[in-house]
């Protein structure tokens, strides 16, 4: 063999030492999406999702047929359900993003290119987010159906869907971050589920237990309308023409000062979505309708019937308001009226979630930065 072999070509490739951020993220995103779109698993999950949500929807439609605010309740139900299922699906789509590649031997091949850990994580996160959003899109027929029934303002619908998408993004970020930190896919998926459960259920449990800590003895003054004693006949029915009167009684009781601990609920994904949505209160009996004591009993106009998410929103608002030490007779008439929003709590919750996700992603970025100085026991780079 001769030494003087022709060089096959002049140096054809201009040597870059860094990638444009968008190009790099797009390449990783495309790599992930191609694999997802060509696999069967994702389609099966989408199909199952569609069937389940259709089942729930049809069931709910049948049950709610006679209720006011049917569109609103159905829409609320779909949002709550998509959020619930999204919290179940997103960890599955995101939490093996990095260590799955490590197990498959492809991570090191990416790490030895000019791709930076930040670009890698960004691309993986976007891909799993888009994968999760597909579940939202598959639910869209039911969302539109519920919207078509009326009773939901455009603002309410838009904010609901936007917050849903945001929550999925947060969960995907948690999953991708954990997948880079944990060595095995199984471990990272379970960890992500635990973290999501901590947010969705753990906050509720901690809130419930914490009420014990904020118990206070307080003098309660409760007033309510009632018929005067002696105006009832032998059957216990008030006599004709009897007037309702405002009766007040006072007692001492232990009450939880929930306003001190409502912040615990802030990071709950359901609370974040519910609290952010501006539920419309139009068409409800207004203050004047209940001005006279009798009116409250007699009104047969639209009642206030909140859906699932709106109930959560109301629950948080009443927890924020804390116990009412002095209930007047007027207030007792308004038990079924929506509470107005005081201090919105969702920015705090979303802030906590984003900080958590960002922290995990930063740790992940550090872990993926090569050359590695420390390796976890039992891991191989390639």
Partner 1 sequence: MRTEPAGGVVGLLPPERITVAYPLTMTNEFGGIVVEGVARSFGSVQAIRDIDFEAPPGEVTALIGPNGSGKTTLMLIMASLLAPDLGTVRVAGFDPATQPAEVRSRVGWMPDTLGVWDSLTAREVLRTLGALYGLSPADCSRRADELLLTVRLTEFGRQPARVLSRGQQQRLSLARALIHDPQVLLLDEPASGLDPGSRVELRTLLRSLAAQGKTVVVSSHVLSELDEIADRAVFVNRGQSVKTQTLDEAGSQARRYYVQAQPMSALAEALRSYGVRFETRGDSRREEFLVQLGSTAEASWLLRTLVMSDVVVTAFAPAGGALEETYMSLDTDRL
Where do contacts with partner 1 occur on this chain (CB under 8 A)? 1-5, 7-8, 10-13, 15-19, 23-24, 27, 30-31, 34-35, 38-39, 104-115, 370-373, 375, 377, 381-382
Q: What CA–CA distance (Å, rounded) separates 327 from 248?
A: 9
Nearer to partner 1, 110 or 276 (CB): 110
258-296 b/e (C-beta count within 10 Å ≥ 16 → b): bbebbbbbbbbbbbbbbbbbebbeeebbeeeebeebeeb
Query: Among residues 32 and 310, whose Cβ is nearest to partner 1?
Result: 32
**Nearest-approach distance from CB 371 to partner 1, in angstroms:** 4
- Give min distance, CB of 136 to partner 1, in A: 24
User: In this complex, which beta carbon is closest to partner 1, that of residue 217 or of residue 374?
Assistant: 374
Please choose, from the candidates 303, 342, 328, the residue with its C-alpha nearest in 3D space to the C-alpha of residue 69: 303
> Per residue, what are the HEC states of 338-366?
CCCCCCCCHHHHHHHHHHHHHHHHHHHHH
Nearer to partner 1 by Cβ, of 126 and 296: the residue is 126
Q: How far is the CB of 45 from partner 1 (least distance, A)?
A: 17
Report the distance separating Cα 65 and Cα 80, nearest Å: 19
Strand pairing of 215-226 and 245-256?
A: antiparallel
Q: Is 304 left (phi over 0), alpha (psi -120 to 50) or beta?
A: beta
DSSP secondary structure letter of residue 232: B
Q: Which is nearer to partner 1, 2 or 288 (CB)?
A: 2
- Specify the residue, 11 or 234, whose C-beta has the smaller distance to partner 1: 11
239, 233 contact by CB (below 8 A): yes
């Amino acid at each position: 063999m001769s030494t003087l072999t022709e060089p096959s070509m002049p140096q054809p490739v201009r040597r870059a030492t860094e990638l444009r951020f968008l190009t790099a993220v797009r390449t990783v995103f495309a790599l992930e999406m191609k694999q997802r779109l060509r696999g069967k698993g994702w389609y099966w999950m989408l199909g199952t999702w569609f069937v389940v949500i259709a089942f729930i929807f049809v069931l709910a439609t049948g049950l709610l047929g006679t209720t006011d605010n049917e569109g609103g309740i159905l829409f609320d139900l779909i949002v709550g359900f998509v959020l619930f299922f999204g919290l179940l699906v997103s960890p599955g789509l995101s939490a093996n993003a990095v260590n799955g590649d490590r197990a498959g031997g492809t991570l090191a091949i990416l790490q030895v290119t000019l791709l930076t850990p930040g670009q890698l994580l960004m691309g993986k996160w976007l891909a799993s987010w888009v994968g999760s959003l597909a579940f939202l899109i598959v639910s869209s027929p039911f969302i539109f159906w519920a919207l078509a029934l009326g009773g939901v303002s455009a603002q309410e619908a838009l904010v609901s869907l936007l917050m849903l998408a945001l929550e999925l993004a947060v969960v995907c970020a948690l999953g991708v971050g954990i997948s880079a930190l944990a060595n095995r896919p199984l471990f990272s998926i379970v960890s992500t589920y635990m973290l999501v459960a901590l947010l969705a259920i753990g906050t509720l449990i901690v809130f419930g237990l914490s009420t014990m800590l904020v118990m206070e003895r307080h003098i309660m003054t409760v007033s309510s309308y009632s018929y005067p004693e002696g105006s009832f006949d032998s059957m216990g029915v008030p006599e004709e023409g009897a007037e309702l009167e405002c009766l007040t009684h006072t007692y001492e009781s232990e009450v939880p000062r929930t306003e001190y601990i409502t912040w615990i609920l802030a990071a709950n994904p359901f609370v974040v979505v519910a609290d952010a949505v501006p539920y419309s209160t139009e068409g409800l009996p207004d203050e004047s309708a209940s001005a006279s004591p009798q009116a409250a009993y007699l009104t047969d106009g639209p009642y206030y019937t909140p859906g699932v998410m709106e109930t959560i929103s109301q629950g948080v608002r009443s927890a924020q308001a804390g116990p009412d030490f002095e209930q007047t007779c007027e207030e007792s008439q308004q038990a079924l009226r929506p509470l107005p929003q005081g201090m919105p709590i969702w920015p705090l919750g979303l802030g906590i979630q984003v900080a958590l996700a960002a922290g995990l992603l930063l740790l992940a970025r550090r872990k993926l930065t090569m050359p590695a100085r420390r390796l976890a026991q039992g891991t191989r780079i390639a």
